[in-house]
Structure 1
Amino acid sequence: MPDLDDLTKAKIVALILDKKTEEALDYLSKFYKVDTPQIVVGTIKKKRRTVYAVYVVQEKKIYALNSEIFYNPFVILHEYYHHIRSKFGTHRGSEKHANMYAQQFIDSYMSVVEKLNQNKTRL
């Protein structure tokens, strides 16, 4: 699976934090050459109150527990990983990998923000 550079990952996180989640998912989907999953507020049977979000492969949808989750980069990127994994083959048994995928984006964002803050201090 191809990888994004740190600055692009940071921009994806910033888009989600700026409440532009759909735009972030569109960008990622173009990069991976897959359909963009729909993201909706809602729950599915058997998952109510047990998870913040869930990706349903058959529907190509990310269900978020509430609108706050829409803007949580870790949760959204975790579920997006399930979407791309389902397109590239294996979907099952990938929770650890979904966490690692999301954390890479968060780490890139934190690194870029830290560098920007250091540059401001020098000015």
Structure 2
Amino acid sequence: MKRELDDIFKAYIVQLIIDKKTEQALESLSRFYEIRPPEIVVGTIKGKRRTVYAVYVQRECKIYCINSEIFYNPFIIMHEFYHHLRTTAGVHKGSEKHANMYARGFIDSYKTILNEIGQKDENL
């Protein structure tokens, strides 16, 4: 049976990242999917230093963020987590389009919940 994330959980994950609790967000998501969480660090890898904000390295099970600003960017973190999720499931790491759609789903849920409680976040 395929498990689905609900808007409240997605919004919670986004809020954790905004609150600078990125590792906790990844641990919570990984528990939900019953997979090992990826490691996440600020740093770069050879060949990707100037071309991307973040990258998931499958052989290391690690997300590299170019700086601390990216480390706390929910869209980029969720995009890279999608690649971790796909590779952990034993399938291709997934297209950039699908990773973007996955991340956008979290941001949209966050905005929906904010609207429901009467708040706005102009940064997302």
Instruction: Assess same fold via TM > 0.5.
Output: yes
Once residues 91 and 40 of structure 1 are traced to their aligned partners in structure 2, the CA distance between those partners, rounded to angstroms, is 23
AA aligned opposite 1:64: C
Superposed, which structure 2 residues align to 1:1-123 within 5 Å? Answer: 2-117=3-118
CA shift for structure 1 position 93: 4.7
Once residues 11 and 92 of structure 2 are traced to their aligned partners in structure 1, the CA distance between those partners, rounded to angstroms, is 25
Once residues 87 and 114 of structure 2 are traced to their aligned partners in structure 1, the CA distance between those partners, rounded to angstroms, is 32
Offset from partner CA, 1:9-48 (integer Å, 9 cap, x none): 0000000000000000000000001101000011111111
Q: Quickly say closer, same or farther: Cα 1:103–1:33, change in 2 above 3 A.
A: same
Equivalence for 1:121: none
Once residues 63 and 93 of structure 2 are traced to their aligned partners in structure 1, the CA distance between those partners, rounded to angstroms, is 16
CA shift for structure 1 position 2: 2.7
Once residues 20 and 92 of structure 1 are traced to their aligned partners in structure 2, the CA distance between those partners, rounded to angstroms, is 25
Q: Secondary structure at the match of 1:15?
A: helix
Q: TM-score, normalised by structure 2?
A: 0.91
Q: What RMSD in Å do the two structures reach over aligned CA positions?
A: 1.2
Identical pairs, percent: 64
Structure 1, gaps ≥5 residues long: 119-123
AA aligned opposite 1:33: E
Offset from partner CA, 1:28-85 (integer Å, 9 cap, x none): 0000011010000111111111100000000000000001111000000000000010
- The number of residue pairs the alignment matches comes to 118
AA aligned opposite 2:46: K
Q: TM-score, normalised by structure 1?
A: 0.92
CA shift for structure 1 position 92: 4.1
CA shift for structure 1 position 3: 1.9
Greater radius of gyration (CA): 1
Once residues 62 and 21 of structure 1 are traced to their aligned partners in structure 2, the CA distance between those partners, rounded to angstroms, is 11
